[in-house]
């Protein structure tokens, strides 16, 4: 036959490898932005927190922040 099982497997693997390279490139780009931000004086760690918060649905986020406050108060945290 024109295409052996071995070739099929190889093609799948190679597609994955190409995609992983692309992904790696983007990860590097993200790292660059954080470094650029840090060089400008921003706190990268906090920026990561912000990105996470913005991923949440606003209502969920506010709800959670509220519960966190409650628990902090219960424990005398802050």
**Which residues are CB-contacts of 48 (< 8 A; sequence separation ≥ 6)?**
34
54 touches DNA (CB under 7 A): no
Angle of CA points 23, 55, 26, to nearest 5°: 15
Residue 59: helix, strand or coil by DSSP? helix
Given a second copy, DNA, none, residue 12, with its beta carbon under 5 to 8 Å by kind, binds a second copy
Helix H or strand E segment including 57: none
Applying CB under 8 A, the residues found at the interface with a second copy are 5-6, 8-10, 12-13, 15-17, 19-20, 22-23, 26-27, 29-30, 33-34, 36-37, 40, 42-43, 45-47, 49-51, 53-54, 62, 64, 67-68, 71-72, 74-75, 77-78
């Amino acid at each position: 036959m024109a295409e052996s099982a071995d070739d099929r497997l190889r093609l799948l693997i190679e597609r994955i490898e190409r995609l992983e390279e692309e992904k790696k490139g983007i990860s590097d780009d993200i790292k660059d932005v954080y470094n650029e931000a840090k060089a400008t004086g921003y706190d990268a760690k906090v920026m990561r927190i912000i990105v996470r918060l913005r991923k949440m649905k606003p209502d969920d986020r506010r709800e959670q922040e509220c519960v966190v406050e409650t628990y902090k108060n219960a424990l005398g945290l802050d």
